[in-house]
Amino acid sequence: MSVAIISGSAGLVGSETVGYFAAKGMDVVGIDNDMRKEFFGDEASTTWVRDRLKREIKSYTHLQSDIRDQAEIFRIFERHGKDIKLIVHTAAQPSHDWAARNPMMDFTVNANGTLVLLEATRKFAPEAVFIFVSTNKVYGDTPNFLPLVECTTRWEIDPNHAYVKGIPETMSIDHTMHSLFGASKVAADVLVQEYGRYFQMRTACFRGGCLTGPNHSGTALHGFLAYLMKCAATGAPYTIYGYKRKQVRDNIHSNDLIRAFDEFFKNPRCGEVYNMGGARHSNCSMVEAIDLCEKISGNNLDWKYVDQNRQGDHIWWISDVSRFQEHYPSWRHKYDVPGILHEIYEMNRERWRKSA
């Protein structure tokens, strides 16, 4: 039997990955110790997703293990050995602000944990495909120095600029402020590339924009669209930081992302890097997202504005996904921002109401 190992298996991307590859007939081993609760508190706990996976997916095995524990991770990989065909590494400390509070834990989770998983793969399943969920924060604040134009509801790039369809992988990651979170993800990202190139392992870094979907346990420090919709639906207050509320993010549904993983899994390469987000198909500014959330929920969002932006935060980010589409031409986005927000609302409003 083919085995897929998913780290962060109860998180947004991890849980969707579990369901997707289990439906394709694989045995799925999930590694998730609910550190999201430790990072962000009870409201961010992923236990509700973990319990659903264990209840609904018969081929799923959940392990409450820590990716930093080399001995334990090696035991898991040794147990399954060459039956392991796929590793999708989604576990991470994902917040700028939290990383600055505890840089040591941020780095050990994001960088050391990635190294442990890579070395376990090399030692016990060297032919497996290793997919890493990286981040656009590896580019630091370099995107903020692009020529941007202020529009009525958003910032936009100069229409004559080479990046008008989005930011490509060729943007430099040097001479920029990354945030400590961005730095730890750079370390992990480069490790994944190096294991691919040096050891000829089949690895890929997917540098995500805003990853979203109905399984997201959104919280104030992480989970833009899910948390925004939760606040609109429940009446909780929301704080907007800087850029006149016009900062732009591309948003990719977790299902669109995982279908991209599957394309790579079916035809893998060594040491690849892809910018992966909603691109021009699925993006919004904060102003535009608030308007959509209010219309969908029927409520006015209780928001306040703080003029100081978060350090290293992007004013405008839209991914250029053309490199991935060139390598895998059958892949296309299915979801846009209105569709994503409708799904988040419909699938979570009863749970939010019961927990309020």
Q: What is the 3-state secondary structure (H, E, C) of 48-67?
A: HHHHHHHHHCCCEEEECCCC
pLDDT score, position 43: 77
User: Is the pLDDT score of 337 beyond 70?
Assistant: yes
pLDDT score, position 222: 63
Task: Say which amino acid occupies 168.
Answer: P
Backbone angles phi, psi at 9, to 5 degrees: -70, -15
- Over residues 34-63, the pLDDT tens digits come to 988 888 888 778 898 999 999 999 999 999
User: Residue 95's pLDDT band (boundaries 50, 70, 90)?
Assistant: confident
User: Is the pLDDT score of 353 beyond 90?
Assistant: no
pLDDT score, position 1: 82
User: Is the pLDDT score of 217 beyond 70?
Assistant: no
The contacts of residue 338 (CB under 8 Å, 6+ apart) are 292, 296
User: Is the pLDDT score of 356 beyond 70?
Assistant: no
Which residue from 157, 94, 89, 168 is spatially nearest to 326, judged by alpha carbons? 168
According to DSSP, residue 108 is labeled I
Comparing 107 with 310, which gets the higher pLDDT? 107
User: Is the pLDDT score of 193 beyond 90?
Assistant: yes
pLDDT score, position 134: 98
User: Residue 352's pLDDT band (boundaries 50, 70, 90)?
Assistant: confident
C-alpha span between 60 and 52 (Å, rounded): 11
Is residue 352 classed exposed, middle or buried when 0-12, 13-18 and 19+ CB atoms within 10 A define those classes? middle
Across the chain, mean pLDDT equals: 94
CA-based torsion, 16, 21, 25, 28: positive or negative: negative
- Over residues 148-167, the pLDDT tens digits come to 999 999 999 999 999 999 99
pLDDT score, position 220: 65
Domains of the chain by start residue, with CATH: 3-355 (3.40.50.720)
- Over residues 237-280, the pLDDT tens digits come to 999 999 999 999 999 999 999 999 999 999 999 999 999 999 99
pLDDT score, position 41: 83
User: Residue 110's pLDDT band (boundaries 50, 70, 90)?
Assistant: very high
C-alpha span between 196 and 163 (Å, rounded): 28
User: Residue 281's pLDDT band (boundaries 50, 70, 90)?
Assistant: very high
pTM score: 0.94
